[in-house]
A and B are shown apart, each in its own frame.
Chain A
Amino acid sequence: MEINPLKENASFGKIRRSIISSFALTFIFAILLAIGINLTTNLREYESSIINLAGRQRMLSQKIAKSIYYLQTSEQNQIEISEDVALWSAVHRGFQNGHEALDIPKIENRTVDSILKAISPYQENIELISKQLNLANLSKAELRELSIWERKYLAGMDHMVEALQLHIDNTIGNLTYVLGILTFLFLIFIWLLYHFFIKRIIDSVGVLSKNMESQSRHLASILENTSDRIWTVDKNYTLIAYNSVFAKGRLDDGGIAPIKGENVLEAGYFLENKSKTKDYYDRVLSGTSFLTEVEIEKEGRKIFYELSFNPIIDDHGLIIGCSVYQRDITKRIRAMEELKESESSLKEAQRIANIGNWEWDIKNNEIKWSDQLYSIFGKDQKTFTPTYEALLELIHPEDREIFDSNVQYSLENREDPDISNRIILEDGHLRHVHQKGKVFFDKNNTAVRMAGTTQDITVMENARERILQQYRELQNFVYIISHNIRGPISTLLSLIDLLEHNDNRDHKDIILLMGNTVQKLDGTIKDLNHSLTLKNIATIDFEQVDLKGVMEDILILISDEIEKYHATIEFDFAKAPTAFGMKRYFSNIFYHLIMNSIKHRSPERDPHVVIYSNTTPIGGIQIVLSDNGKGMELNEERRKKIFNMYGKLSGSTHGKGIGLYLVKTQVETMNGSIEVESKNGEGSIFTINLLLNAMEKKLLAH
Chain B
Amino acid sequence: MTRPSVTWPVVAVVAIGLVWAGHYVWSTVTNPLDSEEAAWLIRPLLWSLVLVAPFVLWTAVGRTLEKLETEDGESLAPLSRKAYVAGLPLLAVAIWVLGFLPATLVYTPLMCLALGERRPVAIALTTAILLAVIWVGFHIGLGIRMPLWPRGLG
Q: Are A and B part of the same complex?
A: no
